[in-house]
Chain A
Amino acid sequence: MWALLVLIGAATVSAHLQDLAFNGQKVFRVIPQNDEQVEIISSLASSIQVDFWQPDSVTLVRPKMQVDFRVEADKCFEVEELLKESGLEYRVLIDNLQAALDAQFDSQARTTTHSYEKYNNWETIAAWIADTAEKNPDLVSQSVIGETYEGRPMYLLKVGKSGPNKKAIFIDCGFHAREWISPAFCQWFVKEAVETYGKDTVMTTLLNSLDFYVLPVVNIDGYVYTWTNNRMWRKTRSKNANSYCIGTDPNRNFNAGWCTLGASKNPCDATYCGSAPESEKETKALADFIRGHLSTIKAYLTFHSYSQMLLFPYSYTYKLPSNYKELNSIAHVAASKLASLYHTKYTYGPGAATIYPAAGGSDDWAFDEGIKYCFTFELRDTGRYGFVLPESQIKPTCEETLLAVKYIANYVLEHLY
């Protein structure tokens, strides 16, 4: 009979998807330090056909100059190997030219409609934020809590019926760029709030008695990057001193046992803790806001994916928080509320033992600031799709998660402090 042979290997592949002329092509940026390195670039250019973006031609290359050039998909691997071997300073400016082009095209089509059951790009989310606030003035107001590294405004929605002396719950999504289901949940939450206020007793009571601060995307720069360049990006997009590697893990960047365990001091790593706590504009903005509203914020919920877990402090130590029993029983009930809809199993417990020890998390930081009820959700799934959770699962994921969130919010309301 016939047999199937499978080879796994790093391969240079040119993809022949129809009409995608630039698919798989990369743009490299190289900075030659001396004449010798200039010569390396010249010989590279003569042996492999590369398209210089700057300078216009290889003959204009000089030491210390930024040299950008485009490489065909099937030559990318070879070129990258050559650059590594040569010791030349380089980075990949554009990881997939086709994707970057498509994204430009997409953003020019400003009428990309928002959908709660699809993944929305940042522009669409930003428009939705403004639109939601505008259409629901007595329930939703919009503000800006800061700017991202790349200069994007960080929008915050305050959801709740105006009233005096209201306590609040802070909810954020999109810490990690590739966890797309997370921002989708924040959008869903807001939708449910405005659509069921006055119709659902629990939601109505919650919104009358509490305010919900919802930060739909914390790491906007990273999120945009997952749409334009690299779907698997995690960190922020800030430059690191003395390294070509970009980005800090925002959830290792808080002042909670900062960088002591489960985080890396290497800027090239996915769990890089940053140069200092709150080194990132995004985490600083979030922390500043919470510090500025500490007397009113009574719970902190942060959404990630994937693993299907409900976590509470601590992650920076195996020590248990003072109200461990209470947090554990809240998590237990919340997880069962979640499972009641589609039988989605969640594990729960303190971060360090349940998922892994990791210092610098926003939940631990918020807890140590005095917010007694801090939870991190790791949403669907458990790895089959992982970060690329199908859009068909957005609705069920959000529906079940909302049950848990409503339960927690209600508990907090009944145990205000």
Chain B
Amino acid sequence: DISDVGRKYHLDLVLEDVLDKDRTLNCSAEVLYHLGNTNIAPDVQFTLEGELKNSDEADTRFYNWIKSLENELVAENIPDSHGNVSPEMEPIWLLGWVASGYVIWQNSTEDTKFQLAQIKRVKQVKRSDDSLEFDYMILLHEMVSQ
């Protein structure tokens, strides 16, 4: 406990590559939950023992595929009710997962445990430049309040 500031946790953890179970990375982190005002996201500092794998190749494949679509991508329920994610939707899912990490971080307190439950809807937003833009509606599951 840090008086008048909040509570700080020191963590030693092992990260596992979602796409390659045998790939792990040691990580140490410090998380500070702020006292009182739970509208502030916790402060997070971390150090990785090594580097994250480069995903340029997969990114490029995804980018080119989306660019090749005639109409803006629209999809629902990823995974579907039975846990299926089609191969084309995998990158959409992973992207949503990463982005939901930000939302989770912003909304986390010492008493919450969030997971991405499902991507309810995703819609590609038309842009005039070369960037891709997606509008996601996600369902987050909070473990304590359910």
Interface residues of chain A, those whose CB is within 8 Å of chain B, are 2-11, 13-17, 23-24, 118-119, 226-227, 231-232, 234, 249, 262, 264, 269-271, 307, 355-356, 383-393
A269 contacts B141, CB within 8 Å? no
30 pairs, A vs B, C-beta closer than 8 Å: A2-B130, A5-B133, A5-B134, A7-B125, A7-B134, A8-B100, A8-B102, A8-B103, A8-B135, A9-B137, A11-B136, A11-B137, A14-B74, A15-B76, A16-B71, A17-B76, A24-B76, A24-B121, A118-B82, A227-B81, A231-B77, A232-B117, A232-B141, A269-B145, A356-B144, A384-B18, A386-B141, A388-B81, A388-B117, A393-B83
Q: Within the assembled complex, what's the spacing in Å between the Cα atoms of A5 and B111? A: 31
Q: Which residue of A lies closest to B135 (CB)?
A: A11
Q: Within the assembled complex, what's the spacing in Å between the Cα atoms of A307 and B100? A: 19
Q: Within the assembled complex, what's the spacing in Å between the Cα atoms of A7 and B99? A: 8
Residue in A16, A226, A392 with the greatest tally of chain B CB atoms within 10 Å: A16
CB contacts under 8 Å to A, within B59-84, are 59, 63, 71, 74-77, 79-84
The answer to the question of B52 belonging to the interface, with a C-beta cut-off of 8 Å to chain A, is no
Q: Which one of B121, B123, B130, B136 lies within 8 Å of A6 (CB-CB)? A: B136
Which A residues are in CB contact (< 8 Å) with B144? 262, 356
8 cross-chain pairs, A with B, having the tightest CB-CB distances, nearest first: A390-B83, A383-B115, A270-B146, A13-B121, A388-B83, A6-B99, A11-B135, A5-B133
Which B residues are in CB contact (< 8 Å) with A388? 79-83, 117-118
Which A residues are in CB contact (< 8 Å) with B125? 7
B115 contacts A4, CB within 8 Å? no
A7 contacts B137, CB within 8 Å? no
Q: Which one of A2, A5, A7, A271 lies within 8 Å of B145 (CB-CB)? A: A271
Which B residues are in CB contact (< 8 Å) with A11? 121, 123, 135-137
Q: Which one of B74, B132, B137 lies within 8 Å of A4 (CB-CB)? A: B132
CB contacts under 8 Å to A, within B13-37, are 18
Q: Which residue of B lies closest to A176 (CB)?
A: B146
B74 to chain A, nearest CB (A): 5
A2 contacts B131, CB within 8 Å? yes
Q: Within the assembled complex, what's the spacing in Å between the Cα atoms of A226 and B18? A: 28
A349 to chain B, nearest CB (A): 16
Which A residues are in CB contact (< 8 Å) with B116? 383, 386
Known contacts A13-B123, A232-B117: does B83 contact A385 (CB below 8 Å)? yes
Which B residues are in CB contact (< 8 Å) with A6? 95-96, 98-99, 133-134, 136
Q: Which residue of A lies closest to B71 (CB)?
A: A16
Known contacts A4-B63, A17-B76, A271-B145: does B136 contact A9 (CB below 8 Å)? yes
B141 contacts A387, CB within 8 Å? yes
Which B residues are in CB contact (< 8 Å) with A8? 99-100, 102-103, 135-136, 138
Which B residues are in CB contact (< 8 Å) with A2? 63, 130-132
A23-B76, A391-B84 known; 12 new pairs, CB 8 Å cut-off, are A4-B95, A5-B131, A5-B132, A5-B133, A6-B136, A7-B133, A11-B136, A15-B121, A24-B121, A387-B117, A390-B82, A391-B83
Q: Which one of A119, A231, A249 lies within 8 Å of B146 (CB-CB)? A: A249
Q: Which residue of A lies closest to B103 (CB)?
A: A8
B80 contacts A15, CB within 8 Å? no
Q: Within the assembled complex, what's the spacing in Å between the Cα atoms of A307 and B141? A: 12
Residue in A8, A356, A387, A393 with the greatest tally of chain B CB atoms within 10 Å: A8
A4 contacts B83, CB within 8 Å? no
Q: Which residue of A lies closest to B56 (CB)?
A: A1
Q: Within the assembled complex, what's the spacing in Å between the Cα atoms of A10 and B121? A: 9
The answer to the question of B89 belonging to the interface, with a C-beta cut-off of 8 Å to chain A, is no
Q: Which one of A3, A249, A390 lies within 8 Å of B84 (CB-CB)? A: A390
Which A residues are in CB contact (< 8 Å) with B138? 8
The answer to the question of B11 belonging to the interface, with a C-beta cut-off of 8 Å to chain A, is no
A10 contacts B137, CB within 8 Å? yes
Which B residues are in CB contact (< 8 Å) with A232? 117-118, 139, 141
A231 contacts B81, CB within 8 Å? yes
The answer to the question of B143 belonging to the interface, with a C-beta cut-off of 8 Å to chain A, is yes
